[in-house]
Amino acid sequence: MDMSFESRPRLIDRLRLFQVVRRRFGEEDAEAFVAAFQDEFSPVATKDDLRELSQKVSADMAALHGEMRTEINAAMVKMIGATALIAGIALAIARLT
C-alpha cells in the first residue's frame, strides 16, 4: 500500500536568504539578489503546455524536412542537368575531332 503524498515544492526562506546574502554582499545587493527569486512563485509549465510545445516543434520539424527535401531534389536535378550538358559537349567535341 503506497502511502506517499505528492510533495509541495520547497520554497526559499526569503528572509533567511536575504540575511545571509546581506552579510556577505551588503544591503543593496542582497535586495537585488532576493528580488531575482520572485520568479520562483510564477507559474510553471504544465504537461499540457509541454505537449503543445512538442506538437508545435514536431510540426515545424516536418515542415523543415519537406523544405529540405524540395531543395535537395532541385539541386540534384540541376547537377544531373549539368552533368548531361558536360557529357553532351564532350561527345560533340569527340565527334568533331
- pLDDT of 20: 87
- pLDDT of 1: 45
pLDDT per position as a tens digit, 16-75: 888 888 898 888 888 888 777 766 555 667 888 899 999 999 999 999 999 999 999 999
Q: pLDDT-based confidence at 90, cuts 50/70/90?
A: very high
pTM above 0.85, yes or no: no
Contact 19, 11 (CB under 8 A): no
- pLDDT of 5: 47
The owner of cell 512538442 is 54
SS3 79: helix
